[in-house]
Amino acid sequence: MVTGDVKLIGSWASVFVMRARIALNLKSIRYEFLQETYGTKSELLLKSNPVHKKIPVLIHDDKPVCESNIIVQYIDEAWSSYGPSILPSQPYDRAIARFWAAYVDDKWFIALRSILTARGEEEKKAAIAEVEGRTDHLEKAFIECSNGKPFFNGDHIGYLDIALGSFLGWWKVVELDANHILLDETKTPSLFKWAERFCNDPDVKPLMPETAKLAEFARKLFPKPQA
């Protein structure tokens, strides 16, 4: 099958880039990975995403697509006959997947990041409680959406798995930083087992960054603020 010319501008450490890469793997699309250097922005990036100037950018036959969840939907639609469908097939299930994917970015991720930027122990404790509450919401969402199947969408990795699962590397890094288990086997058992399955999936495993390497990068990105 002809996929056209496919490039992805990204970085190994980015959750949002990983989303696009997992979607490309699921569809077995070969692509050129153009790594940005941390702290700089390439000419191609500035030209391809002049509005936000952010990775990832997928370039398909010279046409750029920006924003990770939009890229994942684009990959699903542009190569609809390649591999499994990433979005659920039913409109209602699609709406639910989109709802929770937006929740992951707008609510859960914001809370997760605030652990890394917390000033002092009190602020960190509050941020941890916030993440745990929001992870409980996601545990319930998993139970409802998956209906006993291994992934949010059913039998294979789909849109919401990608949206949340791409955070798993950073999730561990934040756990280490906070010295606190955030994805708890007892409190959120379904999500805990889902995370193991997700990380071990052959389309995901080669992309999941090593925790130690990512933790080192995190120290550069989020230098410890003075308490």
Which parts of this chain interact with a second copy (CB under 8 A)?
51, 60, 63, 65-67, 70-71, 73-74, 77-78, 91-92, 94-95, 98-99, 102-103, 137
The residue (of 61 and 155) whose beta carbon lies closer to a second copy is 61
Pairing state between β 32-35 and 57-60 = unpaired
Q: What is the DSSP letter of 65?
A: E
Task: Tell me the backbone φ, ψ of residue 78, rounded to 5 degrees.
Answer: -70, -30
CB of 141 to a second copy, least distance (A): 9
Task: Tell me how far apart the alpha carbons of residues 155 and 71 are, in angstroms, rounded to a whole number.
Answer: 22
Nearest to 65 by CA among 97, 103, 17: 17
The residue (of 138 and 214) whose beta carbon lies closer to a second copy is 138
Residues 6+ apart with CB under 8 A from 33: 7, 8, 10, 21
CB of 75 to a second copy, least distance (A): 9
126 token code pair: 């509050």
The residue (of 32 and 77) whose beta carbon lies closer to a second copy is 77
Task: Tell me how far apart the alpha carbons of residues 149 and 157 are, in angstroms, rounded to a whole number.
Answer: 11
The residue (of 120 and 133) whose beta carbon lies closer to a second copy is 133
Nearest to 23 by CA among 63, 109, 82: 82
The residue (of 64 and 150) whose beta carbon lies closer to a second copy is 64
CB of 131 to a second copy, least distance (A): 15
CB of 70 to a second copy, least distance (A): 5
**In this structure, are residues 147 and 96 in contact, taking their beta carbons and an 8 Å threshold?**
no
The residue (of 63 and 220) whose beta carbon lies closer to a second copy is 63
CB of 65 to a second copy, least distance (A): 5
CB of 110 to a second copy, least distance (A): 13
